[in-house]
A and B are shown apart, each in its own frame.
Chain A
Amino acid sequence: MAVLNEEQSMLRDAAKSWTQEKSPVTAFRKMRDSGVDIGYDAKAWNEMAEMGWAGVIIPEEYGGSAFGYLSMGLILEELGRTLTASPLIASGVGAASALALGGSDAQKSEWLPKIADGSVVGALAVDEGAHHAPEKVALAATKSGAGYSLSGTKTFVIEGLAANLLVVSARTSGAPGDKDGITLFLVPADAKGVSRKRLALADSRGAANITFDKVEVGADAILGAADKGWEVLEKTLDRVRAALAAEMLGAANQAFETTLDYLKVRVQFGQVIGSFQALQHRAAKMFTDLELARSAVEAALQAIDADSPDVPELVSLSKAKMGDVFHLVSNEMVQMHGGIGMTDAHDSGFYLKRARAAEAAFGSQSYHRDRYARINGY
């Protein structure tokens, strides 16, 4: 574990005790069974916001605490352990980072305090196909009067149904695949012409496909500069990927610990199954991988806090490594529990489903291995 300062230790301890007491996995199960369409418990989100978690990366002048990304990661790791669903990543990292990195003073003053206190939920509307491909933007923003008119569809917008504010990547010039010609817009989710379709996902989290039909926005809706949105978008995405990796780290560690506990109590052939070396070595392998993944995740978050030039490389490294490890651990969780792991009443399935959704979101292992290679010119 990274060496923490006093603030960070306190934040982590607060997150640990809140999730254990207020938001154990049974709370996630309850949320899923209730069929709530936004994919999280609004009351729990209010409590998180009251504790200031939505503002952890937001500058103090805009109502945040500016503790930084490693601190945010510590919270997300604890939330990940109990699979707590919330818009913290989409809003408190995604929308907040986009505004902090690219927003004008007016935009920041308007939105960041509300994001920090949880009264506004922001989301990133980026992808348009079955796979994460942020440069493949086709959604068109054409000049219309003094402003722009947006038409097109965004898919798999995480927290897209709950969001009040959408950060939308649109094409103002060039062709899908070009990094130039992408412009970011701030679009209120209730703007005329925005329609949302809830996605019922295997991991029961909130997401939507969003269609923009001639949505009129003013020129002041542009986040950053027209045609030059890519840099802010990529930096924002890297922050979201690192944050997601931190959540995955917590979930994978909990999946592992739950499995380890089971290996110590389940008896077959007159001995605990954890006494079989066939399982011991796989447990040791998972533990090894989890330690490696922790280093990768923490390094990426620390690089973001230090505004280091190797952020993209370290983020892709961490998302690829973390994805592989969560994939492995979630599969082993089911396998090592035997029949009980296949039942809905057990938690194994939740971790398995969450693992695949988190792996696919904001770039799969394949995507990030490839990106890492490109960054390094391999």
Chain B
Amino acid sequence: MADFGGGDPEAFRKEVREWVEANFPAELKGRPNPMMREERAKPSEAQEAWRKAVGSKGWGTPTWPKQYGGGGLSSAEARVIQQEFGRAGAYNPIGGMGVMMFGPTLLEYGTEDQKLEHIPLICRGDVQWCQGFSEPGAGSDLAALQTRAEDKGDHFLINGQKIWTSGAQYADWCFCLVRTDTSKKHEGISFVLFSMHQPGVEVRPIKLIAGSSPFCETFFTDARAEKKNLVGPLNGGWTIAKRLLQHERGGLSGAGGGGGMGGRSLVDLAREYVGVDDQGRIADPDLRTRVVQHEIEGRSFQQTAVRAMLESKGNSGPSAATSIMKNAGTSWMQLRHELTLEIMGHQGLGWEGDAFKPEELGAVRGWLGGKAFTIYGGSQEVQSNIISKRILGLPDLTQHN
């Protein structure tokens, strides 16, 4: 990995380590990232201090260009930062949809002015973004969206409804797909940005089956988007949207190797809840087979992730393997949740109360929340259609009207 920009990897590691030691508040050690919580409380002083420290270094978005507030580092250096954060029990406080999907898309398609206005705020974690794509009538068929944007000279006037807008109740800004031409479907869509803090925006949280309300119905009544916040050409939003969805998908499958799950291995859980026989094998042979099957799936998923990375680094262009990552990763995670519940048995059915350990209650909520993995970011079925059409070259009989 000779991409330390000629620098010394060990010197860089030392620099990061010393910086983390000097800046990471001890009280946050090993604590979960508050960004990962579905319902957010006001951040503590230490949390704010850590966000500002990382944000001003650009180390929350280490590979993004320095002139927009990123770290300007190589991916090898980014890995060092990740490792050193992990070593210190520190989380990356810079995240959310701005980092995961919107930022990378704007870096690719935005004008210089747009990048200078929006990217530094993302790098510092000063602004949270939400994704205004889905509508009641436009889910998998995203291009059927009907939220209208009317040209008012220096701005667009936006009217319509979005739904399933994750984090809309906490967001400062929205990247939104709007219809600017009703005579065409895909070629009548534009990609605009606007503030959520304006009178024409109303959000109504929706409660999920897991009990929390991480997303909203979002209504626009004469909401305003400045013309300078049109990304890409007028009616050219679909191309940008598809690119953004690729970033979203990539982010979702990334956790599939087990990282995103944290926690104990299924084998450990099974030993505790199901017990072992006199030779140390998981006592329930039927369960044991399925746990092993799941582990084999997980290992081959990780091996594929590594192979895809190596292949795309070579000169052969994006690896075909990347197309399968979302479906493979999300099914794996869902099965892990199911097996966790099954292993916990009666203890894996709790909703609340001290008859259940926090880990057990977390397993139930996680299992329920995880059902969304195969719905958002392009459903399992939409991903399979993409593989069939784009990779396998099979004909598409879906009507395009």
Contact = CB atoms under 8 A, between A and B. Distances in A.
Interface string B181-207: 000000000000000000000000011
Contact of A130 (B164, B209, B347, B374): B347
Taking residues whose C-beta sits less than 8 angstroms from the other chain, chain A's interface range is 35 or more
A339 B136 CA distance: 9
Contact of A338 (B273, B379, B385): B379
Given A335-B375, A344-B207, 9 more contacts: A130-B348, A202-B364, A270-B401, A338-B375, A339-B139, A343-B207, A356-B349, A360-B345, A365-B286
Given A201-B351, A338-B375, A360-B345, A344 B273 contact: no
Nearest to A204: B351
B274 to A, nearest CB: 7
B355 A209 contact: yes
Contacts of B207: 343-345
Interface in B355-401: 355, 364, 368, 371-372, 374-376, 379-381, 384-385, 398-401
A366 B287 contact: yes
Given A131-B274, A335-B380, A352-B371, A155 B346 contact: yes
15 contacts: A130-B345, A200-B355, A201-B349, A268-B140, A268-B141, A270-B141, A335-B379, A342-B372, A343-B208, A343-B209, A344-B208, A353-B368, A364-B342, A364-B345, A366-B342
User: Which residue among B344, B385, B398 has the maximum number of chain A CB atoms within 10 Å of its CB?
Assistant: B398
Interface of B: 134, 137, 139-141, 144, 163-164, 206-209, 211, 273-274, 284-287, 341-342, 344-353, 355, 364, 368, 371-372, 374-376, 379-381, 384-385, 398-401
Contact of B273 (A130, A200, A364): A130
A279 interface: yes
A228 B303 CA distance: 55
A62 interface: no
Interface centre among A269, A271, A342, A348 (most CB of B within 10 A): A342
Tell me which of B141, B144, B371, B374 has the highest count of chain A C-beta atoms within 10 A of its own C-beta. B371
Interface string A197-211: 111111110000100
Given A339-B139, A366-B286, A271 B134 contact: no
A369 interface: yes
Contacts, number: 130
Contacts of A220: none
Nearest to A278: B381
A279 B398 CA distance: 13
B355 A370 contact: no
B255 to A, nearest CB: 18
Interface in A345-378: 345, 348-349, 352-353, 356-357, 360, 364-367, 369-370
B134 A335 contact: no
A156 interface: yes
B135 to A, nearest CB: 11
A334 interface: yes
Nearest to B142: A268
A202 B273 CA distance: 19
Interface in A211-242: none
Contacts of B274: 131
A298 interface: no
B142 to A, nearest CB: 9
Contacts of B401: 270
A167 to B, nearest CB: 18
Which label, helix, strand, loop or mixed, suits the secondary structure of the B interface?
A: mixed
A135 interface: no
A318 B207 CA distance: 35
Contact of A342 (B353, B375, B381): B375
Contacts of A342: 208-209, 371-372, 375
A77 interface: no
A130 B344 contact: yes
B345 A131 contact: yes
Contacts of B399: 269-271
A204 B364 CA distance: 13
A269 B141 contact: yes
Most central of A198, A199, A271 by chain B CB within 10 Å: A199
A331 B385 CA distance: 20
Contact of B286 (A156, A197, A369): A369
Nearest to A198: B353
A357 B349 contact: yes
B164 A339 contact: yes
Contacts of A203: 349
Nearest to B213: A344
Contacts of A348: 209
A127 interface: yes
Nearest to B346: A156
Contacts of A130: 273, 344-348
Contacts of A127: 346
B383 to A, nearest CB: 11
B351 A334 contact: no
Contact of B140 (A197, A338, A345): A338
A339 B375 contact: yes
Nearest to B209: A349
Give me the 4 closest cross-chain CB pairs, A-B, nearest first.
Answer: A349-B209, A130-B345, A268-B141, A156-B346
